[in-house]
Amino acid sequence: MAKGDILKAALSNPNRGPHQTALIRSAIYKEMEQFTATRRLPPSLDASEICRILAPIDRHLTPDDYDRLHKFSDFLAVIDTSPNAHPGYHLLGEKLSADLGL
């Protein structure tokens, strides 16, 4: 599978709720194992941090969450080939806020 496809497959699962969130979180971990352009994300932004921000386990996913997850899967698909690819401002903003203790 190409990068981003594992996450896209998890997002297309018709089952909503905790089962799909678990699939999405697992897909993020698998995608990050394949991640090669390490300088494109802050060093402390690992799979568990991405899951905490994009697919929190303590609530149901909202349409905005799904939108951010789709943007992240698109980012993963082109990270190695497009110098203009970015992981999404929400993801980086959440990480920056956490790092600053806000």
- Which structural domain, as residue segments, surrounds residue 57? 5-100
Nearest to 37, CA basis, from 82, 70, 72:
82
Give the count of domains, the chain: 1
State the chain's mean pLDDT as an integer: 80
Q: What is the pLDDT of residue 75?
A: 85
Q: How many residues does the chain have?
A: 102
The tens digit of pLDDT for each residue in 24-53 reads 999 999 988 876 555 667 777 788 888 988
- Whether 55 and 90 have beta carbons less than 8 Å apart is answered as no
